[in-house]
Each structure stands twice: as C-alpha cells, then as structure tokens.
C-alpha cells in the first residue's frame, strides 16, 4: 500500500514550515545577535542537507524496488 499526500496536507505543511522559519530567523537576529548573512548561510546549508536527505531516501527506495 502506497501513501499519498493530498494537496491540502502538503500546503499546510509548507505554511507551517515557512512560519517556523520566519520565527527562527527573527529569534536568531533579535535575541541571539546573528547577522543576516550568518542566518542566510545557515538556512542554505540546512536546505541543502534536507534536500540531499530527501533525494537519498527517494532514490534509495526506487533502487530497492527495482532490484
């Protein structure tokens, strides 16, 4: 049985993730004293790490199914 994510669930997850990112950036800038550049590079690194993890999971599942 394959799980399917509907459009409403995906859009709510995206909205919650965006809201959490805005709050974390605000806390990092205002309370912790990070500069905008430091926050930007941290966000880019986190996005790349998450994308690589998702890609490895996706391609790993496909290769296990075909083999």
Note if the pTM is more than 0.85: no
pLDDT, the chain, mean: 84
Q: What is the pLDDT of residue 2?
A: 63
| Terminal CA-CA length for the chain | 19
Band (pLDDT 50/70/90 cuts) for residue 1 is very low
Cβ 21 vs Cβ 46: under 8 Å: no
Q: What is the pLDDT of residue 57?
A: 85
Average pLDDT over residues 22-31: 92
């Amino acid at each position: 049985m394959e799980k399917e994510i509907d459009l409403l669930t995906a859009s709510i997850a995206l909205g919650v993730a965006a809201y959490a990112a805005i709050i974390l950036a605000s806390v990092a800038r205002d309370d912790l004293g990070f500069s905008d550049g430091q926050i930007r590079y941290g966000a880019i690194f986190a996005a790349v790490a998450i994308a690589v993890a998702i890609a490895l999971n996706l391609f790993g599942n496909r290769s296990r199914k075909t083999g």
